[in-house]
Structure 1
Amino acid sequence: MSNPFTQGNYAPVRQEHTCTDLAVVGEIPDHLDGRYLRNGPNPISEIDPDTYNWFMGDGMVHGIRLRDGKAEWYRNRWVRSPAAAKALGEPPRPQNPRAGLGAVGANTNVIGHAGRTLALVEGGATNYELTDELDTIGPCDFNGTLPGGYTAHPKRDPETGELHAVSYFFGRGNTVQYSVIGADGRARRTVDVTVTGSPMMHDFSLTENHVVFYDLPVTFDARQAVQGTVAAWLRRPAQLVMSALIGRIRVPDPITARMGSRIPANRRFPYRWNPGYPARIGVMPRNGGSRDVRWFEVGACYVFHPLNAYETEDGIVLEVVRHSKVFDAELHGPTEGSPTLDRWTVDLKRGRVREERLDDRTQEFPRVDERLVGKRHRYGYSVGDDTLFKHDMTTGKAETRSFGEGNQVGEFVFEPRTPDAGEDDGILMGLRFTAAEQRSDLLLLDAETLETVAEVQLPDRVPNGFHGNWVHAEN
């Protein structure tokens, strides 16, 4: 069977570019002063289509610098993990074993925080600090305050500027870690939270007073993990040892670090659908601990990305993109079933969750105005192949902008016109790939009308990837 994640615009690009004075169609708003950044998998070495999973490719960060109505530059750079540096014939960057496993490049998200540009990944792997021009500086462990990897999906508190996160890693046993990174870039709080086993907890939700955990049935699979990582005659013993440890006790960091250094970059994806694992969500006060978490059952499913969450008089509303199943029969990527936009209303008084469908059209990568993270909002944005969705949570309606056959769009992010502008008063930014030209553009859309304000023409295509953000020049 062919692997769709090695073909078309999933295929890697082979060149790093530094291009200046980019061509622009339309006019870039003067208030945009910063960088649009996007991260995603881009394998350097040859990959085996039979075993390659989209989540496992070397990280490549793409960036476009906008200032004074101009597109000053485009750069794309591989994140120099040890494997990436070796494949590129470069000396390795200084490493820090306390920063996490180095086998997988930081390929999932890229943010600005405390004056740093950070390429992020999950699962206990190493995150990397980059220069403003996207060259790799080295591993990031937040000044030694948060060892052992981080997450791809921190949430920034719009009031304090702190980063809240939930991190998972198979070596943690049956715990995940909630952390708070201050505006100064240092961890000020960590809490280990007990879960059912060893889940892949890709994202979480944050409200003004609570943290929400998604403990869902995609879990670490020891059999998958040892395939291709040890000699054939050792696989069964290794699988038995890992099965005995993972999800039960915490594996010491020095052991997991050595394990990670021996795992090839093109290893099999070590997480899989687990029908015997209970599906539930946990609600914890921000200042609480593991014993304060209240757990609520939900229907079996998987959530990569929530849109937003907010509190009501009786509980919490969660708006999520729900997958009925992932990584069961198809291990190359999340292609089983059509992800939909759903709402889960957690009734804290009655101890139950009401699940409802908001939009049954296939969509992913939901985003909200970042000023309203954890608060009641009106608008949300998501994408489905060639279509951008703008959801109005007040009316229940959704506007769409189709970009036509032969085009694909990625995640769009919202940037307000001014810091105190209305929720719908600003620019949506995202990448469009045009198959006919084998090239990508950065689209700037009016958030109210979804009409194009400007197109920044890039010199090459940006492969289908994951997440990005607008990073202000003052960050």
Structure 2
Amino acid sequence: MTDRPMLDRSPFLQGPYAPVTEEITAFDLPVTGRLPAGLDGRYLRNGPNPLGSDDPGSHWFLGAGMVHGVRLRDGRAEWYRNRWVRSRHVAEALGERWPGGPVHAGMDFAANTHVIAHAGRTLATVEAGALPYELTDELDTVGPCDFDGTLPGGYAAHTKLDRRTGELHAVAYFWGWDHLQHVVLGPDGRVSGTTDVPVVDGPMVHDFALTERYVVLLDLPVTFSMDAAAAGSQLPYTWNPSHQPRVGLLPRAGTTRAVRWFEVDPCWVFHTLNAYDDGDRVVVDLCRYEGSFDVSALGSGGPLTLERWTVDPTARRVARQCLDDRPQEFPRVDDRVLSRAHRYGYSAATGQVDRGTVQMDGTFQDAAFADALLKHDLLAGTVEEHRFPRNAAIGEAVFAPSTPDADEDDGHVMAFVHDPDRGATDLVVLAAQDFAGPPVATVHLPARVPLGFHGSWIVDG
């Protein structure tokens, strides 16, 4: 511990962000309510958990990854585990032998952003050039993964699975590149193709979108800064007003695959909800920050809203429509409809939440950590809210279908929710079609899960 006053420390080392100090394995977790018998699989979530770090300038994006998981089967919560991703640094800090493996451009990092499954692998992912880390089903580290030597460079935090083809798509970037790289993994878990897309200034590209015909690229004005890097900035990406914001359509098929770019107003986008083809046009739903964005401080330059962008290649313009003007982040759909038209979306409310002496102000520092989840019916134009107890902190919501062939929205929405009364976290399971109603089940974890980033529901088999 340190005697440094709390206000002098990074906000991401305090309160609901504060890292935990132990790895825990617990079995036969207590459950309030009844877990649906069809929920057989693992709910996993990744996020930063600095290891022995008390740097007052610690940036949330840079903490070593820790994956938290709950195993559900036959109406029971079989186990909870949390494990640090064993990069070389983490392994050495824990007094362990690093498992070894490939490293891109000397960047070995304990991937802290997402956790996914593909081709029999469980992967912790991160952006900006580092490789993903493969984990066992029990979340122990196997080692860094370059997909059997088929990945030519770094990888990405976010991926999109086309369930019709079995292909996993990603868009990678790296400060040392003059391009973005679209990477496709085949159903066998090996890279089946890459496409380089030239860009200038080294833009940060956290997420993208996918349709049946296009990879939708977001080239926005947060770019690599050599001045910030030379000054020792932990995160050398800054708002660049001279960088033209634009959205690109990269054809998924064809021999030339030339990207077409379309200008948009200055803004920042961390996350897309989904995208689909609408005749000759492309529809993209996303969370948009108005105006400039300071990614180093995680402050928003303007309102954060859920928007629909309609890209019209014939008219060469992008039309914007506000779908919901309340602040929200971490949007998700039923993953089975990725790249196709969707009706429903789920997101975490942010901003203007009274927590006693703390007033949330809508900046990304408070993103996804209010006390409500939102469900959007984008066909009816309605929004339902599930409100949790005051002072609860809710992470990203993930949808799990009732059966593989169930209709969209026929299933459950799951999220980690901090219970301030217990000082620990629950896995809360909501019925998607009774979203505002009481939880179907609440799994009581034996520990706190720090506020973090993204996760997945990984079904058995």
User: Given the two structures, how large is their TM-score scaled by the length of structure 1?
Assistant: 0.88
Q: Are the equivalent residues in 2 in contact too, given 1:118–1:129 (CA < 8 A)?
A: yes
| 3-state SS, counterpart of residue 282 of structure 1 | strand
Between Structure 1 and Structure 2, the one with more helix by share is: 1
Cα 1:288/1:170, change in 2 over 3 Å = farther
The alpha-carbon deviation at position 56 of structure 1 amounts to 0.6
CA distance in 2, matches of 1:152, 1:390: 24
Q: 1:271 aligns with which of 237, 243, 251?
A: 237
TM-superposition CA deviations, 1:330-372 (whole Å, max 9, x none): 7233454442101111112111111121111110000001111
Pairing 1:61–2:67 present:
yes
The alpha-carbon deviation at position 295 of structure 1 amounts to 0.5
When the two chains are superposed, the root-mean-square deviation of aligned CA atoms in Å is 1.6
- 2:98 corresponding residue in structure 1: 92
The alpha-carbon deviation at position 395 of structure 1 amounts to 1.3
1:4-403, aligned counterparts within 5 Å? 4-49=11-56, 51-98=57-104, 101-172=106-177, 174-228=178-232, 268-288=234-254, 292-325=258-291, 327-328=293-294, 331-384=296-349, 385-403=370-388
2:172 is aligned with what amino acid?
Answer: S
Higher-RCO chain (CA-CA 8 Å, sequence separation at least 6)? 1
The alpha-carbon deviation at position 11 of structure 1 amounts to 0.8
Q: 2:402 aligns with which of 410, 413, 417?
A: 417
Q: Are the equivalent residues in 2 in contact too, given 1:106–1:119 (CA < 8 A)?
A: yes
Cα 1:206/1:291, change in 2 over 3 Å = closer
Flag structure 1 segments of 5+ consecutive residues without an equivalent.
229-266
- 2:423 corresponding residue in structure 1: 438
The alpha-carbon deviation at position 4 of structure 1 amounts to 2.4
CA distance in 2, matches of 1:393, 1:101: 44
Cα 1:21/1:336, change in 2 over 3 Å = farther
1:223 is aligned with what amino acid?
Answer: D
Q: Are the equivalent residues in 2 in contact too, given 1:194–1:290 (CA < 8 A)?
A: no
Cα 1:312/1:132, change in 2 over 3 Å = same
Q: Are the equivalent residues in 2 in contact too, given 1:192–1:290 (CA < 8 A)?
A: no
Cα 1:308/1:101, change in 2 over 3 Å = farther
CA distance in 2, matches of 1:375, 1:205: 11
Q: Are the equivalent residues in 1 in contact too, given 2:88–2:100 (CA < 8 A)?
A: no
TM-superposition CA deviations, 1:132-178 (whole Å, max 9, x none): 11000101001100032211111000211210111011111x20000
- 1:238 corresponding residue in structure 2: none
Q: Are the equivalent residues in 1 in contact too, given 2:289–2:300 (CA < 8 A)?
A: no
The alpha-carbon deviation at position 97 of structure 1 amounts to 2.6
| 3-state SS, counterpart of residue 77 of structure 2 | strand
The alpha-carbon deviation at position 290 of structure 1 amounts to 7.4
Cα 1:156/1:101, change in 2 over 3 Å = farther
Flag structure 2 segments of 5+ consecutive residues without an equivalent.
1-6, 350-369
Q: Are the equivalent residues in 1 in contact too, given 2:159–2:168 (CA < 8 A)?
A: yes
CA distance in 1, matches of 2:382, 2:293: 31
1:42 is aligned with what amino acid?
Answer: N
2:325 is aligned with what amino acid?
Answer: D
TM-superposition CA deviations, 1:109-141 (whole Å, max 9, x none): 001111111000010012100011100010100
| 3-state SS, counterpart of residue 38 of structure 2 | coil
Cα 1:79/1:315, change in 2 over 3 Å = same
User: Given the two structures, how large is their TM-score scaled by the length of structure 2?
Assistant: 0.91
Cα 1:82/1:181, change in 2 over 3 Å = same
CA distance in 1, matches of 2:11, 2:103: 34
| 3-state SS, counterpart of residue 305 of structure 1 | strand
